[in-house]
Structures are given as C-alpha cells and as structure tokens.
A and B are shown apart, each in its own frame.
Chain A
C-alpha cells in the first residue's frame, strides 16, 4: 500500500496520511451503498474525504458482465484533499468482472480484496478470463487477499430463516466490515443506518448487521492481514460539517436562495441523468413551499420556468446536455424579455446521448452561443461539490439583480461526487431580494417596461396583477424603453448593444479572481468547474518541488472577471486543462490574445493529479529549454 506521505509502522498499526479505496462489484452488489457508508464513517471520524461514484448507465446490465460493473472510489486523508485520488491503493472486487475492469487503475503493489466465491467458471467466462487470475500468477505484483465472502455470510446468517438469495445480498456489508477493521473504523454509524433503513424488516436488518460484524471479526481474527492502518483526522477549519454531493448542495442552494430572495421557488424539469436528483430533492421540499412540475419535455420545462418568472417567482429548470440543446429557443426568448431565470446544466459526456453517467465539460460553448443571433447569457460554474451551494445562490443573485437568464454549469463529477461541507449559517448570508415594479395610478405616465437601471441596465420586473402596469412583452424586437414591437434598424442595433452591455457589466459585480501560488511565475494553470481539485493538487505538488507555478480557477465564465487579463500577463505560460477539446481556451485566447496551451482529455473521467502535473512539467521543461 502506498502512502502520500511517510508511513510509520507501530507494531501492527501503520499510520498513513491518505488512502484511496475503490469498491467494485456487479451493479446489483450494492457497491454505491458500501462506498457511501465508508465515506460517512471516514467523514464522521474527521478525515477529509472526496468521492467518485462510477456506475453504468444501464440499471441492471447482465449480472457478472463487464458493462455491469459499478464502482465507488473514496479518498480519505489526514490532510486537506481536493480529489478522490488518481489511483486506488486498495481494490475491493466482488467478482471477476470487477477485478478485470478496475485492475489497471490500481497502484503497483496495491491491495486487492476479492470475494473468492464469485470466482467460479461462469463468472470468469463472463468477464472474459481464460484462466482464473487468482491462481495463474497474473496478480503477482499485488497484495492479494482472498476471502470467501458468500460462504462466510451464510454462516453468519444461520438461523435467521432467510432465503439464500437474501443472505447472499449481505456480502457487501461483510466487505465493509473487513474494510472497517482494516482502517480502524467504528461500525456504529453503519449499524445505526441499518436499523433505520430496515426498520420493520428485523430479519434483513439483523442479517446485514451480522454480515458487517462478521467481516470486522474476520479482519481481527484471521491472519491474512499482517497489519491494519490508521489515517488520523484532518485539520479542517472548526465548525459543524456534513457530507454533501454537488446535486444535494445545488438543490439546497436554490431553497436558500428562495428564502434570501423572499420569493417562491418553482422548478420545472424533465428527468435526465445526472441532473434528476435535483428534481427529486426539490420535489421532496413541498413542506418548504417549493413548487415542482415534471414537464413533458425540456422545452416545456424551461417554458414553465419562464412563465413562473414572468409571474414573479424564482422560475428555474434543471437538465443535462441533450436537454440543454432543446432549451435553446426558449433561452433566446428569456434574453429578449429580460426575465430572471436559472438553467442548470449538469454536463455529461456527449455528443448526443454520449455516456450519460460520465463527466465532461462540453457544454460551455453551447451555453455561451447556442442560440440564434447574439443573445448573451451569463454562465457560472461551481468548482467543488460543496461550492455548488454558494454558486446556486450566486446564480439567483445575478439573475435577479441583472434581470437575466443565468446558466449554471455543473457536471456529472460534481453532481455525484461528495466532500465534507462546513455548514453555513443561513442567517449570515446576505439578502438577494429585489423589488417588483410598483403599481401605477391612472394618471401615471405610460409604463415603460424596458426602462433601465442606470447602473446594471436591468429592466423592471413588472409582474401581472400589478394595477396600471398592463403591457405586452414577447420575442419580437422591443422599442427601447417603451417595449412595444419595433422593426426600426437603429433601435435594433441599440437593443443588441444594450443586451450585450447588460451582461458585460456583471463583471463589475463578481469577486476578484483568487490566485493560488506564485504571484508571478513560469506557469499559470487556468481552469473552470470541476477540474479545480485536480489542478489545485497538481499545483501544490509542483510548488513543493520549487516550481514557480500558480492556479487560477474561474467560477464566472461569462462575463470573464475584469482582472483576468492582468493575471494572465504575469506568467510566462498559461496551461488550460479542460474536459473538452478546448472550449474555455478558445474564449480566453480570443479575448486576451494569449497563447494559452490546452490540456484536453475527454474520457468521461476527471483529470488525475499526475496527468496535470506531468503536462505542467513538460511545459516548464520546454520553457527552460527555450530560455537557454
């Protein structure tokens, strides 16, 4: 087992500062659950954690097959960590297919814990193994631990009167028990969870509890593990924490935004992976007054959101790439009628249906430009799962203050990945409330729905039901200020510029760009969205080796921050890693005329730290060569 820092053997306990484990099995084996339980336990213990679930798009691909393998990777540490780890130190493989799919990622010399009972002829064949890898010497370079989990749970569950199928289903808890022992973790949290989850099904609860304890006891009593491991708590800032995924944080952020804006939250959405969980969560908040509609398609969803916004509510919609494509025309209408609206695109690997459960940053240019004509829309992007909460509020703050639709770009990695979150005090978050246009008496001058705030250029929010404000809006070009239909050429030109300027001015209203690392130097790594963790870790490592490197990360992609040009000018070179073929780079190069170098991988997976590090090293090497 490798460690990120030094290891220090104390008798039979080895202290490590970071461990990465991958649980892998058939999609019916409960690997997501096992991983989540381990994550919670590590977080409750005080480690910093970061997770990466990796599941197939098919709900149940054929059992034992390679496409049916589901995995969950967790990295936990006594340090502040930013990613779920490049490669696992330990692989828990519940069947041959899980071993085959994941072995390549394991660090050399890493630990493999297998359920030997699943390594039968049929499963080996399904996984495409000609010979049993447990016995053909092919795992020689690893630390193999063979445990007949299915057999052992049968013993543990004896006398409960459960079917053999029900008993077999508890083997993931056995594996979890083994891991708890191996990493000195308490079973308490998981036992509590079992009691709650299987309340009323005592037999099942007891079986799972016994399987968990049997796994733990197995670790303790057998001799197959020579040591177990200790990862001490991390030094996180004081406060109360919970573990949170990006989708959860996004949903919570919107609920809090609704409170801060003093307006009802209305979500219309059409189910799509990996965005659906936001719809699910907000649909469960009826008691908080959240209105949700499952629309007939993505066009209807954004239409309903526009309708709700027109009525004065926080109208929003959530989707992923294919749904985002369908929303283009309605987004154009929102630009024209200048109503506040938030559209969440949880990006996934494309084009078309692509790889629905895998991550990518491919929808940036579509969000920026994917409409007819010049129709500017601000685009923001959270960088970590927990940050989704703040950015969800930010999306609404900008939409309301500047009377504009806002695109919020999350992605599959942020959506399903989790990390500890220092729970904020809601009462301390500033209000984002704006006022409706006031009623007008019969003698008031004619209402001007497109009169603008001199500072932001926002137009008034004139909601139906307000006496004296009866007026008509729509997708036809508006006469400046009066808002009636106009085909006047100069007016159209002026309105095009006004709409562009309105969005451009948002740059005055966003925080300064943070730069981590050297204030000037050889290399700036510039990223946006979910690549934050990998880039930051890479820059940390490069800097410990004395490299003059810095990291800047954009949460505001359109408009770009006012200070970005100056920041770019302070570095010899700029590297831009993106999980697309260079979309932000195209924008940055054209705006700042800087020769930014791309690093683009589109494999449906987040960047590994080492990959960015290596790319940066090679660029730095070139620079040194060049300066000689």
Chain B
C-alpha cells in the first residue's frame, strides 16, 4: 500500500484491546492518549509502526497501542531499537522509557543511541521516582529527596536529562508535561517528524509514589509565570502578562521584566532550535524554577544523517563498487586466498 492509498486513521485505530492498568490518576494515561492521538498525523500504516519499551510503569505503553510492540528488558529498549532500525529502515520506531530505565540502567545505551543518531523517537516518562518497584529514588530525584531507599534523603546530584542528551549529540531534544495535552501532542508530532534520534522528556506525575513532583510550576494556575514555552525564532517571553523575558548576560541567562524605557523585547534571547552548537541547549536545560521559568518545547533540532541511512549508504556503495568489477560470486569469496588442488 502506498502512502497516498492509506485510509485516514484515527485515535481509535491505535487503541489495542488490552485493559489499561496504571494507577488511577497516573500521568501515563494522558501520555498514552496523546500518543494515540498523534499517530494518525504521520500517514504511516499501523503495521509499519513499532513501539519498543523497557521496564517500568512507562514500559507498559506498547501493550495499549494497536501497532507492533515489544516490551523488552530494563534499560535496553534503545539497543533493540538500534538493531531493528538498522535491519528495517522502513519502519517508524518509537522507544518508551522511564527516568530509571533510560538514565540509570540504560544510561550507556541512551548516550550511544543519541550519538549514532539512530532514527528513533524516544519518549522518556520522567516522574523522578521508580514507580514500578514502588518508590525508590531515581537518577532525577532531587538531592535530599526522601524515598523508601533514601529514608534520610538522597545524597546524589540528579541528572538533567536534556543536558545529558545534548552532550551525547542528540539531534532532536524536547520537553513537555503530561497534563499539557496540546503542547505534548505538538512535541510528539515534532519528534515523529524528525529524522534521527529524537529525545522527548515528559514531566510525568506519579500520584502514588511521588505526587506533585512537578506541580510547583506545571500547575495550570502558575504555569505561565513559572514555565517558558520555547518557540523557534521567537524571543523568550513568559508570564501571564507576557511581561517577563530571558536575557543573556555573558554566558548566564537572567530573568528580566519587560517595561517601556527598560528592557525591551529586542534585548531578549531569541530561541533558535537549529544552532549546531549545543551550548544554548545546555544553558536552557539548567534553567529551573524558582530561579528561572522551566523551559518546555523543542530545545534543539539539527539535521544529521541517520545511522540506518549511513549504514545502507555504505553497503550500497560497497556493492556498487564491487559490482563494477564483475558479478559478486559467493563461491569465490569462500574460495578466496591461496588455494591448491588435490587430484
């Protein structure tokens, strides 16, 4: 079936017959709904889409998608996606992971999937806790966080996921919030459209083991003043009254008030997703409430050849170069080197 003949699909087409089994009120429900809503956008047949997950509450998502799905083992989804995409460049591959899955046990694979620019879209559900194993600290838990495994508070500095993947050369980096459904859909859409490794961090609420982890700035009543929605080509303005902005002072960002006669919009940082240099991504990733509004949106989007594309190009090139010298005969490959005949 060619793309143009594809019937128009809807959210319903992407819902599987399995009962969804997350705790009532879990942020994962919204992420699932936005995922199902976004899938028809791409005009890709259901059977050509694969959801690969690791282990964690997040890891159950593929069961609820009526596509191909592979619930693998803890931390290793990216490795399986790498092999699948290399073998089958024709498929659209999504990776579903959690903060523990991606950053702790799977940290190495995350780094390497990003630097290889494997054409996969990774959604990391960040609830700052181990949900499935009932509430231990995760690599994104803030210092001092008391959990079952850290009764006196964690003593470890958390990872800033976006900072990490920027250092790992990710070609697409974005952040959104589970309950900000429209923004989340937009980010999923943009991740899906990107050719190469896309990393989307979703700030997700685990209402059972870490309720309200992000509430201070994601709550509807405060989000406009405490979050910064990044938009490509636009100055960094935030606030209910759109009267605050981000200005760069040397290498440091600062929050400024926009006022007639004072700081003007022209003084503000203008967001550019496409800068090759990741410095701004690093700077933005470290902006955190209460010192700063927390940025969401696409941090970085740079074109780079994908791993599967380069792999296939090398092979096609080698086949063509070899074919120019005459037909490839496996028998001759097997019989290569010095041979002798016994009569």
Contact of A236 with B342 at beta-carbon distance under 8 Å, contacts A299-B76, A303-B76 already known: yes
Q: How far is the CA of A290 from the CA of B314 in the complex (A)?
A: 10
Q: How far is the CA of A474 from the CA of B18 in the complex (A)?
A: 14
Contact of A264 with B68 at beta-carbon distance under 8 Å, contacts A242-B335, A242-B339 already known: no
**Binary interface encoding of chain B residues 267-303 relative to chain A, with 1 for a CB under 8 A from any of its CBs, else 0:** 0000000000000000000000000000000000000
Contact of A291 with B73 at beta-carbon distance under 8 Å, contacts A241-B339, A464-B50 already known: no
Interface positions, chain B 73-128, Cβ under 8 Å from A, are: 73, 76, 78-88, 90-91, 108-109, 111-112
**Binary interface encoding of chain B residues 318-343 relative to chain A, with 1 for a CB under 8 A from any of its CBs, else 0:** 11011000001011011111111111
**Binary interface encoding of chain A residues 281-307 relative to chain B, with 1 for a CB under 8 A from any of its CBs, else 0:** 000011111110101110111111111
Contact of A293 with B339 at beta-carbon distance under 8 Å, contacts A299-B76, A299-B79, A472-B62 already known: no
B333 and A255 contact, CB distance less than 8 A = yes
Q: Which chain B residues lie closer than 8 Å to A426 at the CB level?
A: 330-331, 334
Q: How far is the CA of A189 from the CA of B18 in the complex (A)?
A: 68
Q: How far is the CA of A293 from the CA of B79 in the complex (A)?
A: 11
B331 and A470 contact, CB distance less than 8 A = no
Q: How far is the CA of A418 from the CA of B40 in the complex (A)?
A: 57
Contact of A307 with B112 at beta-carbon distance under 8 Å, contacts A241-B339, A242-B335, A474-B70 already known: no
Q: Which chain B residues lie closer than 8 Å to A241 at the CB level?
A: 339-342
Contact of A243 with B314 at beta-carbon distance under 8 Å, contacts A303-B76, A426-B331, A465-B91 already known: no
In the complex, B46 has a CB within 8 A of chain A: yes
Q: How far is the CA of A476 from the CA of B321 in the complex (A)?
A: 46
In the complex, B309 has a CB within 8 A of chain A: no
Contact among A285, A330, A475 for B71, CB-based, below 8 A: A475
**Once A and B bind, how many residue pairs between them come within 8 Å at the CB atom?**
208
Contact of A266 with B328 at beta-carbon distance under 8 Å, contacts A240-B335, A241-B340, A464-B88 already known: no
B339 and A307 contact, CB distance less than 8 A = no
Contact among A255, A290, A300 for B79, CB-based, below 8 A: A300
A303 and B88 contact, CB distance less than 8 A = no
B71 and A470 contact, CB distance less than 8 A = no
B108 and A467 contact, CB distance less than 8 A = no
Q: How far is the CA of A427 from the CA of B332 in the complex (A)?
A: 12
Q: How far is the CA of A173 from the CA of B226 in the complex (A)?
A: 76
Can you name the residue of chain B whose Cβ is closest to the Cβ of A467? B47
Q: How far is the CA of A308 from the CA of B109 in the complex (A)?
A: 16
In the complex, B16 has a CB within 8 A of chain A: yes
**Interface of A, helix, strand, loop or mixed by DSSP:** mixed
Contact of A464 with B91 at beta-carbon distance under 8 Å, contacts A238-B342, A471-B68 already known: yes
Contact among B47, B80, B322 for A304, CB-based, below 8 A: B80
Q: Which chain A residues lie closer than 8 Å to B78 at the CB level?
A: 303
In the complex, A144 has a CB within 8 A of chain B: no
A313 and B108 contact, CB distance less than 8 A = no
A293 and B83 contact, CB distance less than 8 A = yes
Q: How far is the CA of A239 from the CA of B1 in the complex (A)?
A: 50
A291 and B87 contact, CB distance less than 8 A = yes
Contact of A300 with B82 at beta-carbon distance under 8 Å, contacts A288-B333, A465-B88 already known: yes
B80 and A310 contact, CB distance less than 8 A = yes
**Binary interface encoding of chain A residues 215-257 relative to chain B, with 1 for a CB under 8 A from any of its CBs, else 0:** 0000000000000000001001111111100000000100110
A472 and B71 contact, CB distance less than 8 A = yes
A473 and B339 contact, CB distance less than 8 A = no
Q: How far is the CA of A173 from the CA of B84 in the complex (A)?
A: 49
In the complex, A43 has a CB within 8 A of chain B: yes
Contact of A333 with B73 at beta-carbon distance under 8 Å, contacts A299-B79, A304-B82, A310-B80 already known: yes
Contact of A304 with B83 at beta-carbon distance under 8 Å, contacts A239-B341, A240-B340, A467-B47 already known: yes
Distance between A80 CB and nearest chain B CB, rounded to angstroms = 12
Q: Which chain A residues lie closer than 8 Å to B84 at the CB level?
A: 307-308, 310-311, 464
Q: How far is the CA of A290 from the CA of B318 in the complex (A)?
A: 10
Can you name the residue of chain A whose Cβ is closest to the Cβ of B71? A474
In the complex, A3 has a CB within 8 A of chain B: no
Q: Which chain A residues lie closer than 8 Å to B66 at the CB level?
A: 470
A333 and B68 contact, CB distance less than 8 A = no
Q: Which chain B residues lie closer than 8 Å to A484 at the CB level?
A: 18
B16 and A472 contact, CB distance less than 8 A = yes
Q: Which chain B residues lie closer than 8 Å to A266 at the CB level?
A: 83, 86-87
In the complex, A312 has a CB within 8 A of chain B: yes
B87 and A264 contact, CB distance less than 8 A = yes
Interface positions, chain A 377-428, Cβ under 8 Å from B, are: 423-427
Q: Which chain B residues lie closer than 8 Å to A310 at the CB level?
A: 70, 80, 83-84
Q: Which chain A residues lie closer than 8 Å to B30 at the CB level?
A: none
In the complex, B311 has a CB within 8 A of chain A: yes
In the complex, B159 has a CB within 8 A of chain A: no
Contact among B70, B76, B321 for A472, CB-based, below 8 A: B70
In the complex, B139 has a CB within 8 A of chain A: no
Can you name the residue of chain B whose Cβ is closest to the Cβ of A332? B73
Q: Which chain A residues lie closer than 8 Å to B343 at the CB level?
A: 238
Q: Which chain A residues lie closer than 8 Å to B322 at the CB level?
A: 287
Distance between B16 CB and nearest chain A CB, rounded to angstroms = 7
In the complex, A44 has a CB within 8 A of chain B: yes
A476 and B71 contact, CB distance less than 8 A = yes
B342 and A287 contact, CB distance less than 8 A = no
Contact among A288, A423, A470 for B67, CB-based, below 8 A: A470
Contact of A485 with B73 at beta-carbon distance under 8 Å, contacts A311-B83, A312-B88 already known: no
Contact of A44 with B340 at beta-carbon distance under 8 Å, contacts A297-B108, A299-B76 already known: yes
Q: How far is the CA of A411 from the CA of B86 in the complex (A)?
A: 29
Q: Which chain B residues lie closer than 8 Å to A243 at the CB level?
A: 337-338
In the complex, A262 has a CB within 8 A of chain B: no
In the complex, A582 has a CB within 8 A of chain B: no
Of the candidates B73, B90, B322, the one having the most CB atoms from chain A within 10 angstroms of its own CB is B73
Can you name the residue of chain B whose Cβ is closest to the Cβ of A237? B342
B71 and A300 contact, CB distance less than 8 A = no
Q: How far is the CA of A285 from the CA of B334 in the complex (A)?
A: 12
Q: Which chain A residues lie closer than 8 Å to B257 at the CB level?
A: none
In the complex, B45 has a CB within 8 A of chain A: yes
Can you name the residue of chain B whose Cβ is closest to the Cβ of A472? B69
A308 and B86 contact, CB distance less than 8 A = yes
Q: Which chain B residues lie closer than 8 Å to A332 at the CB level?
A: 73
Q: How far is the CA of A427 from the CA of B342 in the complex (A)?
A: 21
Can you name the residue of chain B whose Cβ is closest to the Cβ of A484? B18
Interface positions, chain A 586-626, Cβ under 8 Å from B, are: none
Contacts A287-B319, A471-B68 supplied; 6 other A-B pairs, CB < 8 Å: A241-B341, A241-B342, A295-B82, A303-B78, A311-B91, A472-B70
Chain B contacts to A: CB under 8 angstroms: 1, 16, 18, 45-48, 50, 52, 55, 62-63, 65-73, 76, 78-88, 90-91, 108-109, 111-112, 311, 314-315, 317-319, 321-322, 328, 330-331, 333-343
A-B contact pairs, 27 of them (CB 8 A): A40-B338, A44-B340, A236-B342, A252-B334, A259-B330, A286-B315, A288-B328, A291-B315, A293-B82, A293-B83, A300-B108, A300-B112, A303-B72, A305-B83, A306-B80, A307-B86, A311-B84, A311-B91, A315-B87, A332-B73, A464-B48, A465-B47, A466-B47, A469-B68, A473-B70, A475-B55, A475-B73
- For the complex of A and B, the 10 pairs showing the least CB-CB separation, nearest first, are A303-B79, A474-B71, A307-B83, A304-B83, A286-B318, A472-B69, A307-B84, A287-B322, A307-B80, A308-B87
Chain A contacts to B: CB under 8 angstroms: 40, 43-44, 46, 189, 233, 236-243, 252, 255-256, 259, 264, 266, 268, 285-291, 293, 295-297, 299-313, 315, 329-330, 332-333, 337, 423-427, 463-476, 484-485
